[in-house]
């Protein structure tokens, strides 16, 4: 009996070893198959006063060279026209990395992704993502790229699904961790099932700062987004040269009802959102939505249950973002505590232009950048939405403008006593004045914390 037991144990150990080897073989195969789909994307940020080369991770997702990256690589703070010289870098284990030219297809804010397309026609090896659910405990793999300082070598990590979180964006928690942000995630069958879209570092070229450069290795990301969340982008990616038209409802300020407040409105265990503000002339205002209305259903469906109420505005905001301009959406709202819900139909408009697409003008001699006033500037300053002016987008350190205490975000409403209507007019008036009277000071009136104003005299370098 004792002998039998001992031999059973031996068999068990032996089979475990065999299984581990099978896992290793599978992982190696996956690593080899996936590596050709992983690329680095590179572009130049050419600001008025600084230049930066930015390199981040990308995944080839179609055979004609479409590459998906995390949205964070193309920060919305950066003006679109200053993102230039896009390249796709194809790493190699045996030779120098190859650089091919690419075009920027665009950001896709519906899914927090961005896309580039190689100009080069070649035999691209795309990854095919599939919306496959995961279970807690199951094995997952991720394959990513090491930074430039490690020659963009691909690396593999293995882990287990630990939990599913709703979050603003659904997230799968993996123990002990995953490869860098921008990497794909696979199940044990080798199917691409997710995308790592957050982590300590998004850049692959932080070489001068080794700590940051290896941040994702030292402190691996632990969450990935399941493919079901971003399939919309893969099936219908943005179009190069056409900025994505996002839908807009005009209720920027929403709040998930906490348990106590929900009960006050008779909404125990029913996720609901309070509207904090309805912008004048927005689709929401036209449909009759009011501040204080409680949204309980969208298109007849109860709101999705979040992990916590704070996530609801994000979840619902994303739900709206995924609709199309012109779509009609029916909201069931409770106007006030004790009243029954009523249906309100809202026709979605296009979201107003944001600062990243605003035209800019560099007043180089005085050292500041003016850009078009966009809807969100007036919103931020609580100014009437039809306000006129141009926005100070940058003040060069130690410049004449800086010495005169001009500040980023100032809204210029007057130039030398004449009202500023738009950027074109500002540009013409400014450049004419500077050309005719190069030695003379410029007097600006700016709005700084509306309705406060400031008169600023900028003396040109003599």
Partner 1 sequence: MCVILAVAGCASAPKDPFPSATPKAVVDVTGRIFPAVVRIDVATETYRDGKRTFIRAIGSGVIIDEQGHILTNYHVAGRAAEINVTLFSKERVPAKLIGDDHWTDLAIIQLDMEAVKKKNITFKAAEIGSSKQLIPGQDVMAIGTPFGLARTMTLGVVSNNERTFYPEVMSIDEYETGNFSNWIQMDTPINPGNSGGPLVDLTGKLVGINTRGGGQNLNFAIPIDTAKEVASKILATAKPDRKGYVLRADLGVDLKPLQDLEAFFDVNIDEGVLINSVDRNSPAMKAGVKTQDILLTLNDYPINVRFPEEIAAARKRIADLPIGEPAKLKLKRGKEIVTLTAVPEKLQGAIGEEREFKVWGMSVREVTRAYANEAQLENDKGVVVTTRSPGLVADKADLDPGDVIISINGQSVDSLEKFDELYKQTIEKRQPRVLMEVTRGRGARSAVLKVTYAKEPATAPAAGPATVPATQPSN
Is 417 a binder of partner 1 (CB under 8 A)? yes
Among 387, 414, 421, 425, binds partner 1 (CB under 8 A): 414
Size of the site for partner 1 (CB under 8 A): 34
Contact between 375 and partner 1 by CB under 8 A: the answer reads no
461 part of the interface to partner 1, by CB under 8 A: no
Smallest separation (angstroms) from partner 1 to the CB of 310:
9
- Alpha-carbon gap, residue 428 to 440, rounded angstroms: 17
* 266 lies in the binding site for partner 1 (CB under 8 A): no
**Shortest Å distance, C-beta 456 to partner 1:** 10
Question: Does residue number 311 form part of the binding site for partner 1 (CB under 8 A)?
Answer: no
Smallest gap from Cβ 53 to partner 1, in A, equals 36
**In this chain, which of 31, 45, 375, 379 binds partner 1, going by CB under 8 A?**
379
Min. distance of Cβ 356 from partner 1 in angstroms?
Answer: 21
Task: Say whether residue 418 binds partner 1 (CB under 8 A).
Answer: no
Residue selected from 274, 311, 372, 410 as contacting partner 1 according to rule CB under 8 A: 274
Question: Binder to partner 1 among 99, 264, 350, 364 (CB under 8 A)?
Answer: 264
Residue 34: which of 134, 139, 154 has the closest Cα? 154
Residue 387 interacts with partner 1 (CB under 8 A)? no
Binding mask 283-302 for partner 1 (x = CB under 8 A): --------xx----------
Q: Of the listed pieces 207-215, 269-277, 341-349, 419-427, which binds partner 1 according to CB under 8 A?
A: 269-277
Q: Which residues contact 262 (CB under 8 A, 6 or more apart)?
A: 268, 270, 272, 309
Residue selected from 127, 381, 392, 444 as contacting partner 1 according to rule CB under 8 A? 381
User: How near is the Cβ of 452 to partner 1 at its closest, in Å?
Assistant: 4
Q: Does 317 bind partner 1 (CB under 8 A)?
A: no
451 binds partner 1 (CB under 8 A): yes
Q: Could you tell me which stretch among 14-22, 89-97, 259-267, 315-323 binds partner 1 (CB under 8 A)?
A: 259-267
Our finding on whether 340 is near partner 1 (CB under 8 A) is: no
**Is residue 450 near partner 1 by the rule CB under 8 A?**
yes
Which chain residues interact with partner 1 by CB under 8 A? 252-253, 255, 257-258, 260-261, 263-264, 274, 276-277, 291-292, 337, 379, 381-382, 405, 414, 416-417, 441, 443, 445, 449-455, 457, 459
């Amino acid at each position: 009996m004792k002998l039998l037991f001992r031999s059973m144990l031996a068999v068990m150990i032996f089979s475990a070893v065999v299984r581990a080897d099978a896992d290793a073989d599978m992982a190696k195969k996956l690593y080899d198959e996936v590596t050709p789909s992983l690329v680095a994307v590179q572009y130049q940020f050419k600001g008025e006063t600084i230049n930066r080369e930015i390199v981040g991770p990308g995944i080839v997702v179609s055979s004609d060279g479409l590459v998906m990256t995390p949205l964070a690589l193309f920060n919305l703070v950066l003006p679109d026209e200053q993102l230039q010289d896009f390249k796709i870098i194809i790493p190699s284990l045996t030779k120098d990395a190859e650089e091919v030219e690419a075009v920027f297809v665009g950001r896709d804010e519906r899914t927090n992704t961005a896309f580039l397309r190689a100009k080069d026609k070649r035999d691209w090896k795309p990854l095919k993502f599939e919306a496959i659910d995961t279970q807690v405990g199951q094995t997952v793999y991720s394959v990513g790229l090491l930074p430039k300082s490690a020659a963009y070598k691909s690396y593999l990590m293995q882990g287990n699904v630990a939990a599913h979180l709703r979050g603003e964006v659904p997230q799968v928690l993996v123990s002990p961790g995953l490869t860098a942000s921008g990497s794909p995630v696979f199940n044990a069958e080798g199917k691409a099932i997710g995308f790592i879209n957050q982590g300590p570092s998004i850049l692959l070229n932080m070489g001068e700062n080794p700590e940051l450069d290896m941040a994702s290795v030292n402190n691996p990301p632990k969450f990935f987004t399941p493919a079901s969340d971003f399939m919309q982008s893969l099936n219908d990616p943005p179009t190069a040269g056409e900025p994505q038209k996002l839908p807009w409802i005009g209720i920027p300020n929403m709040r998930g009802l906490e348990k106590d407040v929900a009960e006050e409105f008779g909404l125990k265990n029913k996720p609901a959102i309070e509207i904090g503000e309805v912008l004048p002339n927005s689709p929401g205002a036209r449909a009759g939505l009011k501040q204080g209305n409680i949204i309980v259903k969208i298109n007849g469906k109860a709101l999705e249950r979040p992990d916590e109420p704070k996530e609801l505005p994000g979840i619902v905001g994303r739900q709206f973002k995924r609709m199309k301009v012109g779509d009609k959406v029916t909201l069931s709202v409770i106007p006030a505590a004790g009243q029954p819900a009523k249906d309100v139909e809202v026709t979605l408009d296009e979201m107003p232009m944001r600062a990243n697409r605003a035209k800019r003008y560099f007043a180089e001699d005085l050292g500041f950048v003016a850009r078009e006033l966009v809807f969100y500037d007036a919103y931020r300053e609580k100014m009437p939405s039809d306000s006129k002016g141009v926005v100070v987008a940058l003040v060069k350190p130690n410049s004449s403008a800086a010495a005169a205490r001009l500040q980023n975000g100032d809204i210029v409403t007057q130039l030398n006593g004449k009202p500023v209507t738009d950027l074109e007019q500002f540009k013409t008036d400014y450049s004419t004045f500077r050309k005719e009277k190069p030695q003379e000071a410029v007097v600006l009136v700016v709005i700084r914390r509306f309705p406060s104003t400031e008169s600023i005299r900028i003396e040109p370098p003599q």
